[in-house]
Amino acid sequence: MTDYLGSLSYQPHCERTQMTRQGRFVTTVEKCSRTVEGQERAQCSVAVYEFRGDKILNVWYYDAEACDPP
């Protein structure tokens, strides 16, 4: 993966923009962006983590979509 990312003409940047905890579940929104020809292109995806104690029991990832405006 490192070789692949290093070969790109742009460098992607990902960050968690939201995180909410409800009981044993944590929901996150991750924004991944890159700059191509001077314009930022971004997409966001949701992940839900289920915990048992301090261990991750399950993870559900959802397809990326256009990010909501800030």
State the pLDDT at residue 10.
67
For residues 2 and 49, what is the distance between their CA atoms, to the nearest angstrom?
Answer: 25
State the pLDDT at residue 60.
98
Q: Model pTM greater than 0.85? A: no
Domains contained in the chain, number: 1
For residues 38 and 57, what is the distance between their CA atoms, to the nearest angstrom?
Answer: 41
The answer to the question of residue 67 being in a domain is no
The answer to the question of residue 46 being in a domain is yes
Residues 17-64 have pLDDT tens digits of 899 999 999 999 999 988 878 888 889 999 999 999 999 999 999 999
CATH of the domain at 40: 2.30.18
The answer to the question of residue 17 being in a domain is yes
Residue range of the domain that includes 17: 2-61
Give the number of other Cβ atoms within 10 Å of residue 30's Cβ. Answer: 18
The answer to the question of residue 13 being in a domain is yes
State the pLDDT at residue 39.
83
